[in-house]
Chain A
Amino acid sequence: MTLPLISSTRADGEAVYLSYPRVRIAILIAAIAIGLAMWFVLNRSRLGMLIRAGVDDRDILAASGVRIQYVFLAVFAFGAGMAGMAGVVGGTFQSLSPGEDTRFLLASLVVVIVGGMGSIPGAALGAVIIGLAEQIGLVYAPTYSVVFTFLIMAAVLAFRPQGLLGAQH
């Protein structure tokens, strides 16, 4: 897909328009849609109320008759499903090799630490920050891009240990 942005000019003065893969836009739209749906379920539905209550005080919720084990099992299964979906999309779109699981683990850990646990806008913000930092770091200082993400994480931890949008306990 060609965008109306000019990236360079050819020798005869004609402009070369920046072309951007359509699949990346599709991934972006899908991720935003899933994020909005998850936020809606978590904050505006009864199931989301149960989950948030279970995180805050598990014993009282179990005492009031909710099968909290099954709720958490469902949440874990849903999270695993999301991770699987991301793996399918990421694995077909980019390369996959035996060392990739550690790289994804590190990236997701740093995103959650920076964004704050229990907050979907926090996860989105953390993903944007860390993703941009890592990719820009790959362009300007290829060997130390991992260190950039680590420095951001250390800075966030030093000033705001619960994450940028994490709940204050």
Chain B
Amino acid sequence: MVLEGIPAPVWGIGLLLLLMPALASNFVLFQIFGWSFILGTIALSLMVLAGYGGMVSLIQMTVAALAGYVVAILGTSGVPQISLGWPWWLHIPLAILIATLFGTLVGTLAVRTEGIYTIMITLAIAAAFFYFTRQNYGIFNGYTGFNNVVPPTLFGVDWRQPVPFYYLTLGCATLSYLAVVWMARTPFGLALQGVRDNPRRMSALGFSVTAHRILAYAFASVIAAFGGILLVWQNAQVVPGTAGIPQVIDILVIAVVGGLKRPIGPFIRALIYALLSVFSSDILLAFGMSGERFKLVIGLGFLAVVFFSRMACSGCGALDASAWSATAAT
């Protein structure tokens, strides 16, 4: 039943991705595809909240970073005085659990607000997390963070080599994508979309608007936690800057720009973002301009798309949610 919800081009893309190691170099596999799968997973969690739930939440990158931090603290890392060195089958599920709990807690704070308030509150909590991890040295090791956090060697495979890591991230991205496609067609997903469109009618029908929204936050946090663990494994380190404000805004750009309707969107945009980040300095140098200004290119592109695209604004248009639901109720 899930497979009906996947459009045909996605099947083609999936087949191509399965065969990619035969075509691409190790650098492309690890740095570009691996990174874009990870960013796409985290952006997918934001898309679940914004597209299906109507809440633009900026906490997803923080949830992911928290999962990465818990893996570093409970597992092995280059900071032996803090890391506990627990086995993988203990610290990975615990990391997902703790990150999901954090995301759900933020959700309970944020669901009583709507529109611009949700963005402000989640941004404030994300910034507070960044400053807290930067200043706390007992648990989070402050500015230097944790380094040398690598995946465990399971089943005789070193998962940080390019090809196994590529398949690991591809598998996680596929699972998250299928989970979102499945969720959108369950009674919970349909009720969530109803809550997005018209909360007053849904609560008049007897659905608990707050409970659906909090559960959506929990679901999105699980996906973000998976992305966060993969992110810390790819970078082999986790620092406060992993969840800094620029990274939070990057996830927002990847998830929101160009529409919130299709779950494949975040992955495609994450691939474009990864390509831009890696190659735009070369492109700028080829044009004779300074190579450090690549973020300017991304920012200008974001502005252009938001300005000229209505679909992007309808996704970000949680600002108009109150006015829209008022007019839709009449």
Q: Which residues of chain A have a CB within 8 Å of any CB of chain B?
A: 57-59, 102-103, 105-106, 109-110, 112-113, 117, 143-144, 146-147, 149-150, 153-154, 157-158, 161-162, 169
Do A109 and B132 have beta carbons less than 8 Å apart? no
For A161, the chain B residues whose CB sits under 8 A away are 112-113, 117
Query: B127 to A102, Cβ gap below 8 A?
Result: yes
Binding site secondary structure of chain B: helix
Does B323 have its Cβ within 8 Å of any Cβ on chain A? Answer: yes
Chain B residue contacts of A169, Cβ below 8 A: 322
Asked whether, in the complex, the Cβ of B112 is within 8 Å of the Cβ of A102, the reply is no
Instruction: Given A105-B245, A106-B127, answer yes or no on A144-B135 (Cβ-Cβ < 8 Å).
Output: yes
- A150 contacts B120, C-beta separation under 8 Å: no
The answer to the question of B2 belonging to the interface, with a C-beta cut-off of 8 Å to chain A, is no
Asked if B128 and A113 sit within 8 Å, CB to CB, the answer is no
Within 8 Å by CB of B120, from A58, A109, A143, lies A109
Contact (Cβ within 8 A) B117 A147: no
* CB atoms of B135 and A106 under 8 A apart: no
- B124 in complex: contacting residue of A59, A109, A144, CB < 8 Å: A109
Q: How many cross-chain pairs have Cβ atoms below 8 Å apart between A and B?
A: 58
Q: Tell me if A112 and B109 are in contact (CB < 8 A).
A: no
B124-161 interface code vs A (CB 8 A; 1 in, 0 out): 11011011100111000000000000000000000000
User: Known pairs A109-B120, A144-B136, A169-B322. 9 more at Cβ < 8 A?
Assistant: A102-B127, A102-B130, A105-B123, A105-B245, A113-B117, A113-B120, A117-B116, A153-B124, A161-B117
- What residue in chain B is nearest A150 (Cβ atoms)? B128
| Complex: chain B residue closest to A143, CB-CB | B135
Q: What is the 8 Å Cβ interface bit string for chain B, positions 106-124, against chain A (1 contact, 0 not)? A: 0001101100110011011
A146 in contact with B135 (CB, 8 Å): yes
B245 contacts across to A, CB distance below 8 A:
102, 105
User: Once the chains bind, are B128 and A106 in contact (CB under 8 Å)?
Assistant: yes
Number of interface residues of B (CB under 8 A): 23
Contacts of B127 in A (CB 8 A): 102, 105-106, 109
Which of these, A57, A106, A112, contacts B131 with CB under 8 Å?
A106
Looking at B116, B117, B132, B137, the one whose CB has the most chain A CB atoms below 10 A away is: B117
Residue of A nearest to B125 (CB): A150
Q: List 11 A-B contacts (CB under 8 A).
A: A57-B323, A103-B131, A106-B131, A110-B124, A113-B121, A117-B116, A143-B137, A144-B132, A146-B132, A150-B125, A150-B132
Taken together as a complex, chains A and B put the C-alpha atoms of A162 and B113 apart, in Å, by 8
The 5 closest A-B pairs by CB, nearest first: A150-B128, A106-B127, A161-B112, A146-B131, A109-B124
Q: Kindly report which residue of chain A lies nearest to residue B106, judged by CB atoms.
A: A154
Q: Is the pair A157, B112 in contact by a Cβ cutoff of 8 Å? A: yes
A111 to chain B, nearest CB (A): 10
CB distance from A10 to the nearest CB of B (A): 37
| B116 proximity list for chain A (CB < 8 A) | 117
Given contacts A109-B124, A146-B132, contact A58 B109 (CB under 8 A): no
CB contact under 8 A between A147 and B128, given known A113-B120, A113-B121, A158-B109? yes
Residue of A nearest to B126 (CB): A106
Which chain B positions have C-beta within 8 A of A154? Answer: 109
Docked Cα-Cα span, A30 to B125, in Å, equals 31
> Which residue from B117, B130, B136 sits with its C-beta under 8 Å from A117?
B117
Is A109's CB under 8 angstroms from B109's CB?
no
Question: Across the interface, do A58 and B323 meet the contact criterion of CB distance under 8 Å?
Answer: yes
CB distance from A112 to the nearest CB of B (A): 7
Question: In whole angstroms, how far apart are the Cα atoms of A57 and B116 in the complex?
Answer: 16
Measured CA separation A59–B326 after assembly (Å): 12
Q: How distant is the Cα of A146 from the Cα of B136 in the complex, in angstroms? A: 11
Please give the distance in Å from A6's CB to the nearest CB on chain B. 35
Contact: B124 with A150, CB < 8 Å? yes
Q: How far is the CA of A143 from the CA of B117 in the complex (A)?
A: 28
Smallest CB gap from B136: residue in A: A143
**Closest residue on chain A to residue B244 by CB atoms:** A102
